[in-house]
Amino acid sequence: MNSIKTLTFKYLTMNIHILSLLSVATIAQVSIATAQTTPRVNILFCVADDAGHMSAYGVPWINTPAFDTVARNGLLFNNMYTCNAKSAPSRAAMITGRNSWQLEEACNHWPNFPEKFKSYPEALADNGYYVGCTGKGWGPGYAVNSRGENRNLTGQVWNKRKLTPPTTGISDCDYAANPNDSGRSNPTRRFPHAWWRPYSQRTAHRNPPSGSHCRWKC
């Protein structure tokens, strides 16, 4: 009787293991099929100092209709903070998803960016995205691979287009026109796109005249 019970238990255990393996294999196949059929979205990542001071966030004394449109049709962050307040380290944290203490040299200003840390634009480019940036990408600092070649941590830089700022202390980079140059240079029209748009260091360290925000239509 004990032998029969032992055999029955082993048989049931074997069946459970087989069913578990089949379930895992089925879930994996469904996940792969879903990933292959689900369209990948375009990504526009905007970075700016004092970004909460926009009408998209309900601020009544400044008008930012372009940002409001993006907010309505995209994802508006209400509680996002960088783990480091300084220039290059804050960007290093954002593009890697790591805390400053995990970034080794990259948690410093003017560092050598460790090759082992991959940025999310690099990862997206490896997976079929057409990536680029306008304004200030990652920096200041040095980011090269093992062959000494420069790494575009935030994608190819497009800063040729300029405009006349509405007030002093604001960058003359045309953040709207430069991505269009990128699109025209993409002969295969490869999609999806990922775009990094940090508003320039000149704007971040600005000293605009009093009342200029009333004339600036973003």
Q: Which residues contact 68 (CB under 8 A, 6 or more apart)?
A: 54, 55, 56
**How far is 141 from 114, CA to CA, in rounded Å?**
11
Q: What percent of the chain shows pLDDT beyond 90?
A: 20
Least confident of 30-39, 41-50, 111-120, 205-214: 30-39
Cβ-based burial of 157 (10 A; exposed 0-12, middle 13-18, buried ≥19): middle
**How far is 155 from 148, CA to CA, in rounded Å?**
17
Least confident of 32-41, 75-84, 91-100, 113-122: 32-41
Model confidence pLDDT, tens digit, residues 21-69: 444 444 445 445 545 567 788 888 887 776 777 888 888 888 888 889 9
pLDDT category at 12 given cuts 50, 70, 90 is: very low
Please give the single-letter amino acid code of residue 216.
W
